[in-house]
Amino acid sequence: MSYNLLKGKKGIIFGALDENSIAWKTAERVHEEGGEFVLTNAPIAMRMGQIKALAEKTGSEIIPADATSMDDLANLVEKSMEILGGKIDFVLHSIGMSVNVRKGKHYTDLNHEWMGKGWDVSAVSFHKVMQTLFQKDAMNEWGSIVALSYMAAQRVFPDYNDMADNKAYLESIARSFGYFFGKEKNVRVNTISQSPTPTTAGQGVKGFDGFIAYADKMSPLGNATALDCANYTVAMFSDLTKRVTLQNLYNDGGFSNMGVSAEVMDAFVANETK
């Protein structure tokens, strides 16, 4: 159901790879709510995904950009304002990558060159995006910038590997840059800490299927879906949340406040009695 929450608002969406991605679902929901946007991703990711189909469906243009390149980001922001006809109201940063996870390196034996690359893509790119927007005065007053995170930034999930460190740094950047964006430009910056979600990136984590089932049993409302996250993001882009900033907002069915659930205890006891 559409309420036209974003009618007249314009933005940039990073990270739409395929129809399983949260950025893809968010783009669809933003379009349904009347928002306009430019889609962007790294050229290599665009070759792997189906972003052109999303652009056609939503009447959007695509600007390839490496989010770790300041030159690419400058071009992206300038061209986006040209295409959209003015300053930007919302930005979604939905980017994450770990070479160590892809290569199966254990956290106690990381390749630090790979670690640095993943840190740059997953976290530092968020600072680079905001620095570009800030210095170009590209955001409208009361605009909203959102990045996607995960609870491994606060708690230990061994197989999430160095992505946990990346997410912790991402959340710190949101708070630190969010202060300056708020004070100087009345722009809000937040992160959404999402349930484990079966996206292309998420499924690359070792033991993902078992963990998503565990999280679902632990959460009173069950795991939040990609569409749930898209709806939450739309709310954060809208004027309904214009005084919410510097927050890490959990969209996880209650998982983040659980110690243990009856379902998990029952499964544990059943296994112990076999």
Per residue in 143-164, pLDDT (tens digit) is: 999 999 999 999 999 999 999 9
Cα separation, 219 vs 120, in Å, equals: 32
pLDDT (0 to 100) of residue 46 = 73
Residue 182, pLDDT > 80, answer: yes
Point out which residues pair with 250 in neighbouring strands.
193
At 236 the pLDDT is 98
- The single-letter code of the amino acid at 104 is G
pLDDT at residue 274, rounded to an integer: 63
C-alpha closest to that of 271 among 210, 191, 222, 212:
210
Examine the pLDDT at 170 and tell me if it is beyond 70: yes
Per residue in 146-178, is it b (16+ CB within 10 Å) or e — as a string?
Answer: bbbbbbbbeeebebbbbbbbbbbbbbebbeebb
Tens digit of pLDDT for each residue in 93-106? Answer: 999 999 999 999 99
CA pair distance 138, 34, nearest whole angstrom: 20
Give the model's confidence band at 220: pLDDT under 50 very low, under 70 low, under 90 confident, else very high.
Answer: very high
* Neighbouring residues of 214: CB distance < 8 A, sequence distance ≥ 6: 264
**What pLDDT, on the 0 to 100 scale, is given for residue 6?**
98
- Give the model confidence (pLDDT) of 31-60 as tens digits: 999 999 999 999 877 776 699 999 999 999
Percent of the chain with pLDDT over 70: 95
Please count the other Cβ atoms lying within 10 Å of the Cβ belonging to residue 50: 13
**pTM of the full predicted structure?**
0.95
Distance CA 143, CA 191 (A): 14
Question: What average pLDDT score do residues 63-81 get?
Answer: 97
Contacts of 47 (CB under 8 A, 6+ apart): none
Task: Name which of 73, 61, 196 is nearest 132 in CA terms.
Answer: 73
The neighbouring-strand residues paired with 251 are 194
Task: Give the per-residue pLDDT at 114.
Answer: 98
For the chain, the average pLDDT equals 94
What is the predicted pLDDT for the residue at 206?
Answer: 64
The answer to whether residue 173 scores a pLDDT higher than 90 is yes
Contact 141, 182 (CB under 8 A): no
